[in-house]
């Protein structure tokens, strides 16, 4: 139950951190924009 939330949060954080270091990736920018919207 809560495990899914923890896993998804960890994955999102990993993707965000990855995109922060390699912010040249357009796909990561889309994710960042989606987070900012919410």
SS (H, E, C) 1-38: CHHHHHHHHHHHHHHHHHHHHCCCCHHHHHHHHHHHHC
Instruction: Give pLDDT, residue 17.
Output: 77
For the whole model, what pTM was predicted? Answer: 0.41
* Extents of the domains making up the chain: 1-35
pLDDT digit string, tens, across residues 1-38? 789 899 999 998 888 777 666 665 566 566 656 665 55
């Amino acid at each position: 139950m809560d495990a899914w939330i923890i896993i998804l949060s960890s994955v999102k954080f990993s993707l965000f951190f990855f995109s922060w270091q390699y912010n040249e990736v357009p796909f990561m920018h889309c994710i960042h924009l989606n987070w900012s919207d919410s």
